[in-house]
Amino acid sequence: MRVLIVDDEPLARSRLSRLLAQIPGYQVVAEAENGAQALQLCADLTPDLVFLDIEMPGANGLSVAAALARNQPPPAVIFVTAHPQHALAAYQVAPAGYLLKPIGLESLQQCLERLGVSTRVHLEKQKQQAPRLSFRVGLEQRSILLSELFYLQADDKYVRLVYQGGEALTETSLKQLQEKYPQQLVRIHRNTLVLAERICGISRSADGQHLLQLRDCPVQPEISRRELAQIRLLLQPD
């Protein structure tokens, strides 16, 4: 896989390049120190995968990723940042992965394994095919776009899908769903996953419980104490 590394710090680019050299199947074809240079190199070299720093002078990584998504075909993008507060904004751009600095070999390998593809054609299909959630109504198989989802909640032996336009039950477990959509689904409780791009705030109930505000959703599911810190982190401004 042909790789472009984009980071305004030369040492960070060098470190990532050395780590990638230890993993078979990845070739660093170029490095860029800013967003404009990255876009030009992508146009010239059409890399399969771009490691993209978020905070850079000029165009930041989020705007570069949005521009790259319009390419035909687009490269896969893995965000690399030292600032975890960018996580929610990064999820909204739907990257193939997200790494925190300093990057270690193990975390890099795990991220690449989750990418799970080896050709640009497969990357293109992943980026362009809108993910869907499937469920059955009687004998009929139906599905919704993942982007229509509000939240998923364990309900006895089933999982309840609450989405724009209604509710449904699926036999797919929360664990399986989160493993399938690790970038899009966020756990807020042992029995609840939400669509990351809908998270917009936290409120308190009369009895002191923390509730999650979801864009366009009238229901505010409960946040467990265990997951509260993570949700607050996602809501921190850039």
pLDDT tens profile 206-225? 999 999 999 999 999 999 99
**Rounded to whole angstroms, how far apart are CA atoms 173 and 175?**
5
**Rounded to whole angstroms, how far apart are CA atoms 9 and 32?**
10
Confidence of residue 118 (pLDDT cuts 50, 70, 90): very low
The verdict on pTM exceeding 0.85 is no
pLDDT tens profile 65-108? 888 888 777 888 998 888 766 555 555 555 677 888 889 999 99
